[in-house]
Structure 1
Amino acid sequence: MTEFNPQQHLDQLADEYQRRATAIRRDLSGAHSADFAEQVTERENDDVLRALLAEAEDGLQQVERARQRLSAGLYGQCVQCGASIGVARLSVLPTAERCMDCLRASEG
């Protein structure tokens, strides 16, 4: 089993979000059809793209917050209660800010 490297995971995640955001921005900057009916569909697609862009930008912000916690020596600690988040959770979600107990409590 390989050792969990948070910096590597965060870098990979940031690269993925950045590529996604760049591609979406490129798609949004394209010209629309002169045909009105086609424009309606394109504008609806643009709304979806803007929502996807917002998700990618939010992901980048989450990665930045995780990098700040890593630099401060707080990575892997729940920001709410201070408990350990756990390597299994962090390997799946490297930007996790809360332990499962706090996450469940906030959803309930």
Structure 2
Amino acid sequence: MDTAKYETILRTRKAELESRLSRIEQDFTTPRNPDDDDRAVERNNDEVLEELGETGERELVAIDAALARIAGGTFGICARCGRPISERRLDAVPHTPLCQTCAEEVSRKG
């Protein structure tokens, strides 16, 4: 398996997320519009941005864990069953710690 390929993908995605999260944070610190109607729209937008921020933060944690697995030599090995994770799955979700079978089992239980 070409771990260098996945490391590049993960580092690129991490940089994109960090940039996006920074822009979201800047938006939260921007002064609000004094107009009531505009403030209502801004509050709604803030909720969407907050959800995007939380999702981005979770993905960053997963990416950092994947990069640690690369450094530790365990990338591409399922953290649950110890079998190899298919390259097809890694191509779709490069930060996944689980093979397809274990991911499906976990999602059915959760």
TM-score normalized with structure 1 length:
0.90
4-13 or 44-53, which moves further after superposition?
4-13
Give 1:107 shift.
Answer: 2.1
> Greater helix percent: which structure?
2
Q: Which amino acid aligns with 1:57?
A: E
Alignment of 1:1-16 (within 5 A): 5-16=5-16
Matched, 1:99 2:99: yes
Q: Which amino acid aligns with 1:46?
A: D
Q: Distance in 2 between matches of 1:88 and 1:97?
A: 14
Give 1:55 shift.
Answer: 1.0
Count residues with an aligned counterpart. 106
| Residue-by-residue CA offset, 1:51-91 (whole Å, 9 max, x unaligned) | 11111111111110001111111100111111110112112
Matched, 1:39 2:39: yes
Q: Which amino acid aligns with 1:47?
A: E
Q: Which amino acid aligns with 1:58?
A: R
Alignment of 1:1-108 (within 5 A): 5-108=5-108
Give 1:13 shift.
Answer: 1.1
Give 1:40 shift.
Answer: 1.4
Q: Which amino acid aligns with 2:83?
A: A
Structure 2: runs of 5+ lacking an equivalent: none
| Aligned Cα root-mean-square deviation (Å) | 1.3
Q: Distance in 2 between matches of 1:89 and 1:104?
A: 12
Give 1:7 shift.
Answer: 1.1
Give 1:37 shift.
Answer: 2.2
Q: Distance in 2 between matches of 1:84 and 1:103?
A: 13
Identity %: 26
Q: Distance in 2 between matches of 1:74 and 1:106?
A: 20
